A = this chain, B = another copy of it.
Amino acid sequence: MAIRYPNGKKYQPNTPTASNAQKKTVSYGKRGMSLEQDLNDTNAYYLTHGLAVIHKKPTPVQIVGVDYPKRSSAKIKEAYFKTPSTTDYNGVYQGKYIDFEAKETKNTSSFPLSNFHQHQLTHMEGVQKQDGIVFVIIAFQTLGEVYLIPFEHFQPFWQRMLDGGRKSVTLQELKDVADQIPYGLNPRLDYLSIIRKHYF
Contact = CB atoms under 8 A, between A and B. Distances in A.
A21 to B, nearest CB: 14
A144 interface: no
Contacts of A60: 58
A79 B61 contact: yes
Contact of A58 (B52, B57, B64): B57
5 contacts: A4-B72, A10-B74, A75-B79, A76-B81, A95-B132
Interface string A50-68: 1011010111111110101
Contacts of A77: 77-78
A154 interface: no
A196 to B, nearest CB: 14
A91 interface: yes
B94 A131 contact: yes
A13 interface: yes
A23 interface: no
A79 B79 CA distance: 8
A3 to B, nearest CB: 8
A63 B11 contact: yes
B78 A47 contact: no
